[in-house]
Amino acid sequence: MQNLLDSYLSKSKEKRSDVIAYLAALDHLQTVSPSIADLILKELVDQRTYLKLIASENYSSLSVQLAMGNLLTDKYSEGYPYHRFYAGCENVDAVEAEAATLAQDLFEVDHAYVQPHSGADANLVAFWAILTERIQNPFMEKLRKKNPDELSPEEFEELRQLLCNQSFMGLSLSSGGHLTHGFRQNVSAKMMRAHTYDIDPKTGLLNYDTIAKQARKIKPLILLAGYSAYPRHINFAKMREIADEVGAVFMVDMAHFAGLVAGKVFQGETNPTKFAHILTTTTHKTLRGPRGGLVLCEESLSQSVNKGCPHVLGGPLPHVMAAKAIAFREAHTTDFRNYAHQIVENSHALAEEFIHQGLKLVTGGTDNHLVLIDLTMFGITGRIAETALRQAGLTVNRNMIPFDQNGAWYTSGLRLGTPALTTLGMGKKEMKEIALILTKVLKHTKPETVKSTGQLSKARGITDPKIIEEARTRVQSLLDQYPLYPEIIIS
C-alpha cells in the first residue's frame, strides 16, 4: 500500500494544508476499504489518461471536496434555515444561510435555495413552486386560503387534475434542451402538459418570432429557457417579453452556463438573472462546485421555493451545502472571472480551428463553453466517433444535431466543452492542437460493413491504428503539461 501523504511531503517543497488533509483522508480510506480507495485512485488515473472534453463536467477544488467529507452528513435538517422539522439545526441553519447569501450576492438575485441534490431536483422544486403560486383561477384562490389537510376528497381530486392540466414550453431535447424540459419519458412531461419549441432548422438558432407565435397559441403557465447542447447566446430579454405577453412565468435553467453568469461573461440581454422570475442550475458544471442543484428566484416565489423540502425533496445534504458555500466564495474571485472568460475564449479557439479544418459546426460556431460538431460529412455516427476518440485519448460525448437522422442512441453529432480543460490551465494554443488531433482521427475513421446485411454499421468503426497511436502521443504530451490534481502522487 502506498502512502500518498508521505510521497507528497517528500517530493514537494510547499506543505499545503488542503493537500495534506486530502491525502491523509485517502491514505486512511486505504486502511478501511482498500477496494474503494483503489477505485478512487483508479478514477483519478482514468481522468489523467484522457482529455476531458465533456461539456457538463469540471474539476472542483480540493477545498470544495474536503468540505463534503465530514460530520455534517450526519444531520437531518428538513425545512429551511430557522424553520426546521428537526431539533438541533442551529449550525446547519448557519451553513445553509451562508451558502444562500453567497449565492444571492454572486448572482444578484432576491432569493437562493441551496438544497436541491441535483439539477433535475432543482427543476422539480421550481416547477412545484410555480404550480403552487401562479395558477390563477378562483378554485386555486380558495384553496390557498385553506389548510391543505382540510380539503375534501373531491377538492383534492380537482386540485390534482388542475395541476397536471397546466402547460409549459421548453426547448426540445433534439434542439439542445434537457430531459427535464418536457422530454416525453421524463416526469416533467407528465406532471404538466409539456410543449417543446425547436430551433430554426435553417439557421440552427432560436427564432424568437416562432417561439412567440407558439406561445400565443399555447399560453403556457411556464416559459422555460436553457439548454444542455445549444452553442449560442439566448436573448433573455426577448424571452421575457414573450413570457410577459402571454402571462407566463419565465424560468431559466442555466445548469450548463451558471459559471459564465457568475463570472460575468454573460452580460446585458444574455444574463438571465436580470430577466427570469425563477432560475435553476447545477453547481458542478461551469460553476465548478460540488455535485448539486440550486434555485434562485424573486421574492414573491421564495416562500414556496423554501418548501422544496418537504414538498418535493427529502432531507437536505448539509455537507454538500457547506461545499456549495465554498464554491460560491471561489466564484466571487477575480480568478474565477478570468477562468470563466477563458472558457469561452478556448471554446472560440476550438471552433475556429475546426472551421479552418473544414468541419461543419451546428450554428457555424459558438458563444459559450460548448461546440457541436455535425459529423454528417464524415459518414460516421456520433457513437462511432465517440469510441474512436476515446481510443485516441479524448473523452467527448455523442449528441444529436438538430433533426438528427440517426436518433438519440447513435446520433450524428459530437458535443465538446472547454470548462474542465480550462481548469487545468489550457489555453488557445492547446485548443488548436486538440482540434487538429480530433479532426485527424475523424478523417481516418470509417464505419464497418455489417457482414450479414452488407450495410454500414452505426455502432462500429475502424480507425487507422497509426493515426490512433499518433493521436495518443500528442494527447499525452498535453496531459503531461497540465496535470490533474498534481499533488496526488501515485507511485
Instruction: Supply the residues annotated as catalytic.
Output: 76, 78, 253, 282, 285, 291
The residues, any chain, with a CB within 8 Å of residue 305's CB and separated by 6 or more, are 111, 113, 125, 126, 129, 278, 295, 297
89 vs 211, beta carbon nearer ligand PLP: 211
Contact 255, 177 (CB under 8 A): no
The residue count for the chain: 491
Q: In angstroms, how far is CA 334 from the centroid of its own chain?
A: 22
Asked if 253 is part of the footprint of ligand PLP (rule: CB under 6 A), the reply reads yes
CA 258 to each of CA 110, 289, 350, 356, 433: distance values in angstroms, whole numbers, following the listed order: 17, 11, 21, 30, 27
Instruction: Count CB-CB contacts under 10 A for residue 42.
Output: 11
Provide the minimum distance between the beta carbon of 317 and ligand PLP in the complex, in angstroms, as a whole number.
13
What's the CA gap between 473 and 360, in Å, rounded?
26
Nearest Cα neighbor of 398 from 131, 133, 54, 82 is: 54
The residues, any chain, with a CB within 8 Å of residue 454's CB and separated by 6 or more, are none
Number of residues this chain uses to bind ligand PLP (CB under 6 A): 14
Provide the minimum distance between the beta carbon of 177 and ligand PLP in the complex, in angstroms, as a whole number.
7
Q: Which stretch binds ligand PLP (CB under 6 A): 38-46, 126-134, 220-228, 450-458?
A: 220-228
Residue 456, phi then psi, degrees to nearest 5? -75, 135
The bridge status of strand 222-226 relative to strand 249-253 is parallel
Among 134, 232, 240, 256, binds ligand PLP (CB under 6 A): 256
Asked if 398 is part of the footprint of ligand PLP (rule: CB under 6 A), the reply reads no
226 vs 447, beta carbon nearer ligand PLP: 226
Question: Helix 17-32 vs helix 4-11: angle between axes, to the nearest 10 degrees?
Answer: 150
Q: Which stretch binds ligand PLP (CB under 6 A): 84-92, 201-209, 222-230, 350-358?
A: 222-230
Asked if 60 is part of the footprint of ligand PLP (rule: CB under 6 A), the reply reads no
256 vs 307, beta carbon nearer ligand PLP: 256
DSSP label at residue 484: S
317 vs 435, beta carbon nearer ligand PLP: 317
Site residues for ligand PLP, window 310-329 (CB under 6 A)?
A: none
Asked if 118 is part of the footprint of ligand PLP (rule: CB under 6 A), the reply reads yes
Asked if 283 is part of the footprint of ligand PLP (rule: CB under 6 A), the reply reads no
Asked if 178 is part of the footprint of ligand PLP (rule: CB under 6 A), the reply reads yes
- Determine the residue with CB nearest ligand PLP: 119
4 vs 255, beta carbon nearer ligand PLP: 255
Contact 156, 146 (CB under 8 A): no
Provide the minimum distance between the beta carbon of 251 and ligand PLP in the complex, in angstroms, as a whole number.
11
Q: Exposed, middle or buried: residue 46 (CB in 10 Å: 0-12, 13-18, 19+)?
A: exposed
Asked if 228 is part of the footprint of ligand PLP (rule: CB under 6 A), the reply reads yes
Asked if 56 is part of the footprint of ligand PLP (rule: CB under 6 A), the reply reads yes
Asked if 288 is part of the footprint of ligand PLP (rule: CB under 6 A), the reply reads no
Asked if 419 is part of the footprint of ligand PLP (rule: CB under 6 A), the reply reads no
220 vs 393, beta carbon nearer ligand PLP: 220
Among 72, 173, 255, 396, binds ligand PLP (CB under 6 A): 255
Provide the minimum distance between the beta carbon of 229 and ligand PLP in the complex, in angstroms, as a whole number.
8
Among 282, 306, 346, 381, binds ligand PLP (CB under 6 A): 282
Provide the minimum distance between the beta carbon of 411 and ligand PLP in the complex, in angstroms, as a whole number.
17
DSSP label at residue 405: S
Provide the minimum distance between the beta carbon of 420 and ligand PLP in the complex, in angstroms, as a whole number.
14
414 vs 435, beta carbon nearer ligand PLP: 414
User: Coil, strand, or helix at residue 456?
Assistant: strand
Among 115, 132, 174, 180, binds ligand PLP (CB under 6 A): 180
In b/e form, how buried is each residue of 209-238, taking b as 16+ CB within 10 angstroms?
Answer: eebbebbeebebbbbbbbbbbbbbbbbbeb
Residue 99, phi then psi, degrees to nearest 5? -60, -45
Provide the minimum distance between the beta carbon of 95 and ligand PLP in the complex, in angstroms, as a whole number.
21
227 vs 336, beta carbon nearer ligand PLP: 227
Copy the grid coordinates of residue 4: 500518498
Among 37, 106, 120, 301, binds ligand PLP (CB under 6 A): 120
In b/e form, how buried is each residue of 79-117, taking b as 16+ CB within 10 angstroms?
Answer: bbbeebeeeebeebbebbbbbbebbbebbebebbbbbbb
| Binding region for ligand PLP (CB under 6 A) | 56, 118-120, 178, 180, 226-228, 253, 255-256, 282, 293
